[in-house]
Amino acid sequence: MSETLGMLCDKLTIVKLKQYHSEDPARLESLSAQEQMLQQEIDEFVSRAASGNIPIEKLSFAANKVYKKEGNTIRDITGTIGAVFSELADVNCKLWHEQEKVYEFENVPVSEKDNVVRQLAHLNLERNKCIDEIDRQFATTIKNIL
């Protein structure tokens, strides 16, 4: 398995966003199937980890995000796994709406273009922090169980 719990949670929040923003019945049916598969994959992942069938070192990936830290301070992401998952969903909602601006970038006033790009970068860094924090906390929980 090459995904972590945080990555699976991220995918699920994105599927939910797509469902919310779609009205096409065929697309909604496909998204519903994806949602069910992701829920099942999350349940199986948690079960396998709790039973010791996934090595602890495979419960998270090292954060290898390379970015210019000066001027790009990203807030700390804290709280329980559930709280961080909720924060991940919130960040993905913000990312969705910021990304919408890029699809019609020619309509964004020149004075705001840099801000849109900067906001996308910051939100993506926050998203990654959420994923990493879910993974860190989950790995710690499993270590304490086993």
Domain ranges across the chain:
5-145
Residues of the chain with pLDDT under 70: 1, 62-69
According to the model, what pLDDT value does residue 1 have? Answer: 52
According to the model, what pLDDT value does residue 74 have? Answer: 82
According to the model, what pLDDT value does residue 18 have? Answer: 97
Measure the CA–CA gap between 39 and 50, rounded to whole angstroms.
17
The pLDDT tens digits for 108-129 are 999 999 999 999 989 999 999 9
Ramachandran bin of 113, using left for φ above 0, alpha for ψ from -120 to 50, beta for the remaining angles: alpha
According to the model, what pLDDT value does residue 61 have? Answer: 82
